[in-house]
Chains A and B, each alone.
Chain A
Amino acid sequence: MRKCVVTVLGKDTVGIIAKVCSYLAENNINILDISQTIVQGYFDMMMIVDVTNIEKDFGDIVEEMNHLGEDIGVNIRCQREEIFAKMHRL
């Protein structure tokens, strides 16, 4: 399994989760875990997703998610899970 972390940060608005999840579904990316909060009108979401079955290059997925974020007006990052696992786990 190739896991990635998707983080979405920005001003809350209608349909953020819907748009992000639609994009993931279109690209055959399975969601494994979601946590989400809203603090003082700011939307903060983290998803752990499985990108094993993507057909595109992973770098292209990263770029497309950045662009999707720009369209919605939030900041979306998609990073391979290892950077977090290495930093915070022995």
Chain B
Amino acid sequence: MINMMEVSETNKMIEHENLDVRTITLGISLMDCIDSDLDTLNKKIYDKITTVAKDLISTGQEIEKEFGIPIVNKRISITPVSLVGASACKTSEDYVEVAKTLDRAAHTVGVNFIGGYSALVSKGMTKSDELLIRSIPQAMAQTERICSSVNVGSTKCGINMDAVRLCGEIVKATAEATADNDSLGCAKLVILCNAPDDNPFMAGAFLGVTEADAIINVGVSGPGVVKKAIEKARGKGFEELCETIKKTAFKITRVGQLVANEASQRMGIPFGIIDLSLAPTPAIGDSIAEILEEIGLERVGAPGTTAALAMLNDQVKKGGVMASSYVGGLSGAFIPVSEDQGMIDAVNAGSLTIEKLEAMTCVCSVGLDMIAIPGKTSAATIAGIIADEMAIGMVNQKTTAARLIPVIGKDVGDTAEFGGLLGYAPIMPVNEFACDAFINREGRMPAPIHSFKN
């Protein structure tokens, strides 16, 4: 039988160490909504989402209450809209109408985000893909709860550099379209390489075409719990440190699995995967940076940061894999700047740079995330940063992403405020040497060789 020590350990994690389930994300396929008439398409999309997800919020709340575990977000991911809208949308404005429909559905159901205003263009762009990508700035400006993503590369296909160049322009245009809110639109737009089909985390969530009609994916959290646990391993060897992280990751993930099973059973929708990511929030004590500092770095960004992060990420996976029947999504430590107080502090202290963050993304998911850069940064430079990040993903057979926010009207020394879970971020300096001639080359980068690994 459960003993008092175990009960108080669990409740201490929940009450004092920010243990929560970060998201229950309901994946909904919109393939059966496809229609050549825009109004019919919008109606079908609205009806399907509001029918399948009608109990999502109430089910989440019931589980929270019965088990005493907070479930921070209830969200929806959908089939990439460039596939669903291909037949009906003849212009970018048509796509913006679909975005508005999705926003309306999100409000009706009560979810804080719907992810999947997306295009998958790792090898080439259809006309529909291009129209959707070009609609992103207005879609982000005219909606509140839509998240957008573009997959521009993969290990199997290489990198679509035409899409990278276009995305550089689109990120900039989105920043300008939402300039009144510190370019908030860019916080909901992510450019990906090797995007997974079952990711429950925003802004990169969408439901891939390989997935079922509806599916429950769950993202766990718990940086604060890991931080507290490894405080007990201060000064000890790597063996003890790694064992502590693994055991803690196991416990966190088991809670996620329990919540996923309950949600799946109550809603009558199959369980998909648990995403093992350690996801920070701006709250004090819910930070990946603090874990790395507890491991032994004075500040994140110091020499040793990449190695410490590689170890942390690997141990979280090793502990989590055994705790869950199906693992998927991004599954790694997130290192967003604006959503992690320790990262913000490290940037302000001059310890953490974009270049170091880029190195860190080689060993963990998911990429250059929530990084505010000067509003004057050119579209070509943004595309260059995106291309670098995509190359890391392509060569290392992993997911990488870039969520960059060129904050219009602000420069190094200023701070951008996004609010809520998105936090705030100091504007980080960007290398000012140009890469225009490289970005302006047309075509795509070939897929990398899959042998001779060095």
Contacts and interface: CB of A to CB of B under 8 A. Distances in A.
Contacts, number: 59
Contacts of A81: 2
Given A77-B11, A84-B10, A59 B2 contact: no
B67 interface: yes
A35 interface: yes
Q: Is chain B's binding surface mostly helix, strand, loop or mixed?
A: helix
B254 A87 contact: yes
A75 to B, nearest CB: 9
A62 B65 contact: yes
B239 interface: no
Contacts of B4: 35, 44, 46
Contacts of B23: none
A84 B255 CA distance: 9
By CB atoms of chain A within 10 A, which of B3, B4, B6 has the most? B4
Interface residues of A, number: 23
A58 B66 CA distance: 7
Nearest to A88: B6
A30 interface: no
B8 interface: yes
Contacts of B257: 86
A48 interface: yes
A13 B7 CA distance: 22
A87 B68 contact: no
Given A62-B68, A83-B69, 15 more contacts: A5-B7, A35-B3, A35-B4, A44-B4, A46-B8, A77-B11, A78-B68, A79-B67, A83-B67, A84-B6, A86-B254, A86-B255, A86-B258, A88-B9, A88-B251
29 contacts: A5-B2, A7-B8, A33-B1, A35-B4, A44-B4, A46-B7, A46-B8, A48-B2, A58-B66, A59-B66, A63-B65, A77-B11, A78-B68, A79-B68, A80-B66, A82-B67, A82-B258, A83-B10, A83-B67, A83-B68, A83-B69, A84-B2, A86-B255, A86-B257, A86-B258, A87-B251, A87-B255, A88-B2, A88-B9
